[in-house]
Structure 1
Amino acid sequence: MSRPDGATRPEVHPFTARASDADLDDLRARLAAARLPEAETVRGAAPGPRRWDQGVPLADLVELVEYWRTGYDWRAFEARLDRIGQFRTVVDGLGIHFLHRRSARADAVPLLLTHGWPGSVAEFVDVVEELADPRDADAPAFHVVVPSLPGFGHSDKPAGTGWGTERIAAAWVELMDRLGHRRFLAHGGDWGGNVTTVLGGRFPDRLLGIHTLFAQAPPGLSTDGLTAQERRWTEETHDFWTRRAAYAKQQATRPQTIGYALVDSPVGLLAWLLDKFAEWSDTEDSPFETISRDRVLDDVTLYWLTRSGASAARIYYESHASLDPALRVDVPSAVTMYPRDIEKCPRPWAEQRYRNIVRWRAPASGGHFPSLEMPGFFVADLREGLAAVLAAGR
């Protein structure tokens, strides 16, 4: 599955990025000079979801902006990425950045983790080490690869159209081949789940199996025969797409227009991304009930410093509602549906696309960002799911 000597091809290069002091000073100056709107008209609402009815509350944003300006340490995040191991390579004409943490274990299996939006490689920094070199000697170990999607972070920004999830999946196969990982496991949620589905469906000879948080069924299936909970899932998903997905329609149709604000205003970028961390996490009043301020700011600052607000948004233009209805996944698959995720697919529907589901879990808690919200549980669930996948493939 991997080259025993751990060698990589010459075209894979170690990578280090250091934001200039001037860029960090400019960020702090922009934060200090920010022009803010008046408070939301639901101001004074009791703590709870209603307080966020019109978006990010002014008081919350002011507090976080002040911490970003005076307390947050970007250099600590840069150092953490370096400790994991950063690399770049050019695939299909595009520079791709990725984290690569090889396990010390001889029995380790290659594992590709793909993030989504509004995420980045920052989604996985709290879990890479434990996946690669678990403290429990009986736990499975993995050679972990975490690429930045095209247009995200330190990956290049495509100069033309065509970089949708099908092309990304093909690029990931080439990337893994360059790292000596001929056959590998794949995991993802959000856009990462979409890419993982394409990997399992298009490249069954390369995939040992998949674990996904995003099992997207083929369109047009009936609710007949679904349980009451499964019907609630379909209703909640429908509600999301009809009432709470304006961001996706904007980015799918006019990513350039919103991109000017996201690249020019750090406060605008912060609000645009924070709104999703708040709404999509399993919390009652604030995303910081489960996700640290530093992790959110790691993610947002990465977007800011790489000027990727517009280029990351374009994945919606390229791939929104584009998953091939006829695509089927026959490799062993594990699925976890967290209760506060934005899309939840009933198992009978999922089985119409993923035809070899070997493990299905619906935990009692957790949202769209489980690797940030509950990293310990996320690692345990991922391990168990991948163990089932590997056992099924033997």
Structure 2
Amino acid sequence: MLKHISWLVAAVAIGYAVFLTYSLHRVPEMPQLDPNRWWGKEPQQKEVDTSIRPFKIEFNDTMIADLKQRIKNRRPLTPPLDGINSEYGMNTAYLEKLLSYWAEKYDFKKRAELLNRFPHYKTKIQGLDIHFIRVKPTAKNVKVLPLLMLHGWPSSSKEFDKVIPILTTPRDGYDFVFEVTAADLPGFGFSEGTNKPGLNPVHIGIIMKNLMKRLGINKFYIQAGDWGSQVATHMATIYPDDVLGLHTNMPLSSMPISSVKILLGSLAPSLIGDHSHRIYPLKNLFRYLVRESGYFHIQSTKPDTVGVGLTDSPSGLAAYIMEKMAICSNRDQLHTPHGGLENLELDDVLDTVTIQWVNNCIVTSMRLYAEGYSTTAPEVYALHGIPTRVPTAAIKFLYEVMYHPDWVLRDKFPNLVRSTTLEFGGHFAALQTPKVFADDVFAAGAEFLKFHESKK
């Protein structure tokens, strides 16, 4: 009898192992997606507006006066606890100095002029007015690689203004240069948000593909981070013949097998590699995620509620955005009043906050978290489980929000042609370390060209 029970237990165990292996490695079918789904507030018209309109960023006097008045009339901020710097969030004594600078010394007109040094445009894509920067190189006798650049939260195409001149200028050792299209995601920056639920990263990827098609660019490369990286990954999965290469500064694999491998890796982290300390011990990772992911949970569940206060108060908006930009630039500086913010130039940070304020887009930008993690979006989860075979390059800065080693990334990106791990830098890499960022994009471009040449 015991022998039969042993055989039964063994059979059940083997069956479960087979089932688990199948489940973890099963590749979902490509979801059926509508490439022309309408997201506009107005009913879809028979005549599609395909015009591309020049656009100029303006911080007008009425907005500036109203903003300064609101900052001046703010209620007294609650001071930090004794001995506390940024451990409880934004240090309000430090914030007072930043708000004074914003109202009294930040040059709104000069900053708008600086942003306008690039050509800006808007065009209607699937009912939404999409804003983008497009810079063509002037150099001759070099290959021109079209590059779409996508940001994350709480950013806009502003995030790339330091690297665009580098990427569009030829350099020694490379026989190519980039033509940059840096777009604002829908509901971010100067791009229009939707009034319809369901605009998740998959559908944003379709919008961005249609934007490039509108510009006459059918095959292109992508550079992206944060939410832009998720959008770009979905684009590469859906359009593998059109996306020629993906460079990301926030490389992650959301495939089920990747989570299992990370858990198993915790049993012997010393065998993982030189950078195992970035992910192990897992208790440190979980402690960090619990400490810093409160905003993520709120924006994934109740973005409209927290958005009321942020929409009405520039002081509140600044504190909310700056605190996250600080922690994502150096999470080890909570013991300082700035909490990591001084790794970025203050005017760059205030550009981001000002753009959010001018466009009243804090709610529409935060809703992406709710849409991206909605249980009613099966296409998101399906695409996470499909390998992306487009050649991919990853750069991993020290203070990126999450770290995945290459042996995990290859689950999702089997053609990982370049990977760089650095002991400095953070989440807003194009602003914090623009030269290093641009150097890696160029190096990735060379690897992409080699990859395609080898396939001929």
Distance in 2 between residues matched to 1:13 and 1:237, nearest whole Å: 46
- Match of residue 168, structure 1, among 204, 207, 224: 204
Residue 386 (structure 1) shift: 2.3
Could you tell me whether the CA contact under 8 Å between 1:84 and 1:129 is conserved in 2? no
Report the 3-state secondary structure (helix = DSSP H, G, I; strand = E; otherwise coil) of the residue aligned with 2:393.
Answer: strand
Report the 3-state secondary structure (helix = DSSP H, G, I; strand = E; otherwise coil) of the residue aligned with 1:108.
Answer: strand
Q: Which runs of 5+ in 1 are unaligned?
A: 1-8, 46-50
1:297 equivalent to 2:297? Answer no
TM-score (norm 2): 0.79
Distance in 1 between residues matched to 2:298 and 2:446, nearest whole Å: 39
Amino acid at match of 2:310: L
Distance in 2 between residues matched to 1:177 and 1:243, nearest whole Å: 42
Deviates more, 1:64-73 or 1:81-90: 81-90
Aligned length: 380
Partner of 1:124: 160
For residues 200-257 of structure 1, the C-alpha deviation after alignment (integer angstroms, 9 at most, x for no partner) is 1111011111001222221332233633733642535433433310101101100110
Distance in 2 between residues matched to 1:182 and 1:254, nearest whole Å: 38
Partner of 2:43: none
1:11 equivalent to 2:47? Answer no
Report the 3-state secondary structure (helix = DSSP H, G, I; strand = E; otherwise coil) of the residue aligned with 2:244.
Answer: strand
For residues 2-46 of structure 1, the C-alpha deviation after alignment (integer angstroms, 9 at most, x for no partner) is xxxxxxx952111123232111100000111111332121x445x
Distance in 1 between residues matched to 2:353 and 2:70, nearest whole Å: 15
For residues 338-384 of structure 1, the C-alpha deviation after alignment (integer angstroms, 9 at most, x for no partner) is 11111111211111010100001101211111111111111112211
Partner of 2:65: 25
Partner of 1:378: 437
Partner of 1:346: 405
Amino acid at match of 2:350: L
Deviates more, 1:343-352 or 1:321-330: 321-330
Partner of 1:195: 231
Partner of 1:307: 360
Alpha carbons of 1:390 and 1:253: their partners in 2 closer, same or farther (altered >3 Å)? same
Distance in 2 between residues matched to 1:98 and 1:330, nearest whole Å: 27
Amino acid at match of 1:65: L
Distance in 1 between residues matched to 2:231 and 2:111, nearest whole Å: 26
Partner of 1:227: 273
1:318 equivalent to 2:364? Answer no
For residues 279-331 of structure 1, the C-alpha deviation after alignment (integer angstroms, 9 at most, x for no partner) is 11037343443211100000000000100111110010110384533121101
Partner of 1:258: 306
Amino acid at match of 1:251: Q
TM-score (norm 1): 0.91
Distance in 2 between residues matched to 1:255 and 1:215, nearest whole Å: 25
Q: Flag as ranges the 4+ runs of structure 1 deviating above 6 A.
A: none
- Match of residue 361, structure 1, among 398, 420, 438: 420
1:104 equivalent to 2:104? Answer no
- Match of residue 210, structure 1, among 239, 246, 255: 246
Partner of 1:182: 218
Report sequence identity in percent.
Answer: 30
- Give the CA RMSD over aligned residues: 1.9
Distance in 1 between residues matched to 2:148 and 2:307, nearest whole Å: 29
Alpha carbons of 1:53 and 1:169: their partners in 2 closer, same or farther (altered >3 Å)? same
Could you tell me whether the CA contact under 8 Å between 2:187 and 2:364 is conserved in 1? yes
Amino acid at match of 1:249: H
